[in-house]
Structure 1
Amino acid sequence: MKETDRSKTAQNVDEYFQGFSEEVQAVLEQVRQTIRATAPQAKEVISYQIPGYNYLGPLVYFAGFKNHCSLFVTNKQIFKIFTEELLHFKTSGTTIHFTAHKPLPSSLIQKIVQFKMRENEERDALKKQTALMKKQKPLSYK
């Protein structure tokens, strides 16, 4: 199966990994296991034809390509927070690029996932608070 065919037809992450070299599969599996260990309550999905995780909204996505792998973090603020740790990796938009020969450290993936979890929790709490306030009747003054 060609890489382009695989990504379009994958129904789950295991299927997505098929067709990559064993070396790339090992790196992608390491990313997957790090995310799962850091956010066990997150739901694993295929979204935008790539593996991702949702926890109170999008958490992170990752993908393999011919010459590199990517972690999609969905928030540019992460690049400001983790500037030092990301110095040796190519970044663009909300994406961190890495290779099988120079993978992202698990500790950095954990920090990014933890940051995104807190961000999603804060956003969810704000949504709930706003919804509750809309349901409450205004006080009447006599």
Structure 2
Amino acid sequence: MAKKGAMASFACVDDYINNQSKESQIILHELRSLIKEVAPEAIELPNYKVPSFTLIPGSKPAQQLMIVAYAKHVSFYPFQATIDHFTNELKGFDLGKGTVKFKLNQPLPKELIKQMVAIRKDEIQNSLK
């Protein structure tokens, strides 16, 4: 059952992850690891009360990836342009505006996630030119 009331604030990404269900923690750790594998220089910070990753240090905070735990899924927010780039590969996934929802009981598409992080990083890098 989902928690009721206002979303809690967390001092760091680890605090956020450690306060989620065990199932969500596994997926959040995997997503974090995949993001850091593609963008080891990414800066982690809680933003909008959820784990966020600034892929290009010095870029705008609004240009980051986010991961969020919900009762039955974990959402990965790579932005709409990235979602649009992978339209065919994401068929069969529950999508929202700028987000892919991963169910807690299914394995993550790790290679696809890494490709999405790389594309998002390129999008940000190109916007800085």
Instruction: Say whether the fold is shared (TM-score over 0.5).
Output: yes
The answer for the alignment partner of 2:110 in structure 1 is 106
Q: Which residue of 2 aligns with 1:134?
A: none
Contact map agreement 2:83 2:99 (CA 8 A) in 1: no
Partner of 2:44: 44
Which residue of the partner structure matches residue 68 of structure 1?
A: 73
Of the candidates 81, 84, 88, which is equivalent to residue 85 of structure 2? 81
**Could you tell me how far apart the structure 1 residues matched to 2:31 and 2:97 are?**
20
Aligned length, in residue pairs? 123
Cα 1:53/1:33, change in 2 over 3 Å:
same
- 8 Å Cα contact 1:6/1:16 also seen in 2: no
TM-score by length of 2: 0.85
User: Hey, which of these two has a bigger chunk of helix by percent?
Assistant: 1
Cα offset, 1:17, TM superposition: 1.1
- Does the CA contact (< 8 Å) of 1:90 and 1:97 recur in 2? yes
Compute the RMSD of aligned alpha carbons: 2.0
List gaps (5 residues or longer) in structure 1: 126-142
Match of 2:30 in 1: 30
Secondary structure of 1:8 counterpart: coil
Q: Which has the larger radius of gyration?
A: 1
Supply the distance in 2 between the matched residues of 1:13 and 1:6 (Cα, whole angstroms).
Answer: 18
Q: What is the deviation of 1:24?
A: 1.6
CA distance in 2, matches of 1:4, 1:45: 24
Q: Please report how far the alpha carbon of residue 7 of structure 1 lies from its aligned counterpart in structure 2 after TM superposition.
A: 4.9
Residue 9 of structure 1 aligns to a residue whose secondary structure is coil
**Contact 1:70/1:98 (8 A) holds in 2:** yes
Look up the match of 1:21: 21
> Percent of aligned positions with the same letter in both sequences?
25
Q: CA 1:71–1:97 in structure 2 vs 1: closer, same or farther (change >3 Å)?
A: same
